[in-house]
Amino acid sequence: MHAVFPPSHLLVSAMVKTSLCPAILGLSLLAILQLDSCTNSTELQVHGADTTSHNFTWQIQKLGEIASSVLYDVAILDDTLAFAVGEIYVKDSLGQPDARANNLCIWNGNTWTLRQLNYGAGVPVIRSVFSFGPAEAWLDPWFHWDGIAFQQLAIDPVLIGFRIQRMWGNDGVLYAGGTNGFIGRFDGSRWRALATGTSLPIQDIWGATDSRTGRKQVLALASNYLQVPTGKKLLRIDGTNVSALSDSGLPKILSGLWFSAGKTCYVVGDGLFQKANVSDASPWSPFHDGLVHAYTVAVRGSSSNDIFIVGHFGAVLHFNGATWHNYQSELALTGVVFHAVAIKGNIVIAVGEEAGRAVTLLGRR
């Protein structure tokens, strides 16, 4: 028994595989050597800025009884509801390994419950989840939550052959990014594949609307995160048109991006990078010196003064509008690889894996 798409990005086990990208392997060895020196650190101090608190209480939970359990993405719908997706393997009522994974974990404000969402006769691996609010969420393009129940959706032919990595939506429009440079746009009635000009896998997609101008900006990040690095692309999506933006200063191995309207954009991966205006040709600026010695995978925020970054070796970073705080040493989750993070209000949830078990980290401020 094995997963449809077995996780290959757990560095703790993947480091023994000779096919692992040399750049990530070197980064992993550096992280091991320097992990003891990772202390709570601050950078980019902005005097007079509005700030949020770094004070969180944390709860860690491990799920799955059989190897290959992992959570890929998470969305917080409200204070008492969150969805995490992936593949969680447990034993059946007879104590035998169940070949059908649980592909959904539901948080009710206190505990996580495992669930299998069937598609036809099978239970597919779900890799992405996006919430429009407490009463609507998408789990890959195959399932929809209407606030009461999950509905199985017909697979549009446009989506066949692609593995969806991340989704983002606004005003009833949903974008999905996946393998082979795929970006799909759902307008409420049908999916349309957009011409991206790249075959690199889309690792992340995010957007924001400027409340002052009403202008929407959607960006996507493409990179061979888990393969030999062959390039990277930063893309702007304007309706159904996709264009390339300057990626000068960014490395080839990248995983995540996030921004709020009219504010600094952050890109993470083989380093941490920021840029005030993604439209100009100036290079991206690194700001990772001394902050973290691990590969970073995902970045999300609720506002420009409340941002989380997570990654390998249990890396968890928070920006409060003035300083960055590294929770890595106090959490001591050195065996954990986080794949995604979500924040809403005073709740943050990061998900990933450790030694074949799925992991959830929940913080309350």
The whole-model pTM stands at 0.87
Other beta carbons within 10 angstroms of residue 270's beta carbon come to 23
What gap in Å lies between CA 364 and CA 68, rounded to an integer? 28
Per-residue tokens: 120: 């036809």
Backbone φ and ψ for 291, nearest 5 degrees, come out as -80, -45
Q: What is the DSSP string of 103-144?
A: EEEEE-SS-EEEE---BTTB------EEEEETTEEEEGGGEE
174 or 93: whose pLDDT is higher?
Answer: 174
Q: What is the DSSP string of 68-108?
A: T-EEEEEEEEETTEEEEEEEE--B-TTSSBPSSPEEEEEE-
Q: How far is CA 215 from CA 158, 208, 219, 220, 238, in A?
A: 28, 8, 13, 17, 10
For the chain, give the mean pLDDT: 87
State in Å, rounded, how far the first CA of the chain is from the last one. 40
| pLDDT (average), residues 5-18 | 33
User: For residue 105, is pLDDT > 70?
Assistant: yes
The candidate with the shortest Cα–Cα distance to 146, out of 159, 155, 137, 154, is 137
Q: How far is CA 340 from CA 7, 75, 117, 119, in A?
A: 14, 9, 21, 24
Q: How confident is residue 107, by pLDDT bands cut at 50, 70 and 90? A: very high
Assign 312 to helix, strand or coil.
helix
Q: Which CATH number fits the domain 11-364, given the four candidates 2.130.10.10, 3.40.50.880, 3.40.720.10, 3.40.50.300?
A: 2.130.10.10
Q: How far is CA 273 from CA 49, 136, 203, 278, 324, in A?
A: 20, 32, 16, 12, 14
Give the pLDDT of residue 49. 67
Give the pLDDT of residue 337. 98
Per-residue tokens: 258: 């996030």
- Which residue's entry shows tokens 């690194």? 286
35 or 88: whose pLDDT is higher?
Answer: 88
Look up residue 283 and give its amino acid. Answer: P
The one-character DSSP state at 316 is E
Name the strands in the sheet holding 316-319, side by side, starting at the edge strand that comes first in the sequence.
296-303, 306-311, 316-319, 324-326
Give the pLDDT of residue 288. 75
pLDDT in tens, 34-72: 333 333 444 445 445 689 999 999 999 999 998 899 999
- Which residue's entry shows tokens 């409420």? 188
pLDDT in tens, 111-160: 999 999 999 889 999 999 999 999 999 999 999 999 999 999 999 999 99
CB contact at 8 A, 315 and 294: yes
CA contacts within 13 A on the Cβ side of 340:
24
